[in-house]
């Protein structure tokens, strides 16, 4: 028995002879949709009284009354952009303040070190 080897090794399963007993895989897609009822249509949903359907990778309003929502969407995008710009400015200010704090802390440590050296030097003279 190996110390670090794999002690469990299951037997390999034999390959299948037939992928499926059904002959539905031989049918083309349109025939399968007709036979099995696979035509679902476009996905739709209702949000806040607004009916939307999924077309070409985007959710589109089924009714033409989405103009008010479109204006609201434009207003929200503009507000979002303003907030992102403000956030970027605040991040820049925080970075500058952290740099200033680091610099001041380093100077303070140097001054404390110099002061300690001066104290030790004055004690030696006495």
pLDDT digits (tens, 9 = 90+) for 29-48: 777 777 776 666 778 888 77
pLDDT the model gives residue 68: 59
Is the CB of residue 53 less than 8 Å from the CB of residue 60? yes
Task: Supply the DSSP string of 10-75, one letter for each residue.
Answer: PPPPPPPS-S-S-SGGGS-HHHHHHHHT----S-EEEETTEEEEEETTEEEESSSTTHHHHHHHHH
Residue 7 has pLDDT above 80, yes or no: no
Residue 96 has pLDDT above 70, yes or no: yes
Mean pLDDT to the nearest integer, 11-16: 78
Residue 3 has pLDDT above 70, yes or no: no
pLDDT the model gives residue 29: 72
Q: Which two tokens stand for residue 47?
A: 């949000």
The model's pLDDT over 44-93, given as tens digits with 9 standing for 90+, comes to 888 777 788 888 888 777 775 555 567 888 899 999 999 999 999 999 99
pLDDT the model gives residue 100: 97
Is the CB of residue 44 less than 8 Å from the CB of residue 52? yes
b (16+ CB within 10 A) / e for 33-68: eeeeeeeeeeeeeeeeeeebeeeeeeeeeeeeebee
Higher pLDDT pick, 53 / 8 = 53
Confidence category of residue 18, pLDDT binned at 50, 70, 90: low
């Amino acid at each position: 028995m190996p110390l670090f080897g794999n002690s469990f090794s299951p037997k390999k399963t034999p390959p299948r002879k037939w992928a499926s007993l059904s002959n539905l895989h031989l049918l083309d897609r349109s025939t399968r949709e007709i036979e099995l009822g696979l035509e679902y249509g476009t996905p739709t949903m209702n949000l806040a009284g607004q009916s939307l359907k999924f077309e070409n990778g985007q959710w589109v309003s089924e009714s033409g009354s989405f103009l008010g929502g479109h204006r609201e969407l434009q207003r929200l995008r503009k507000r979002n952009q303003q907030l992102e710009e403000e956030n970027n400015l605040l991040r820049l200010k925080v970075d500058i303040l952290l740099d200033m704090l680091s610099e001041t802390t380093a100077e303070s440590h140097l001054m404390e070190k110099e002061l300690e050296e001066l104290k030790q030097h004055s004690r030696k003279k006495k």
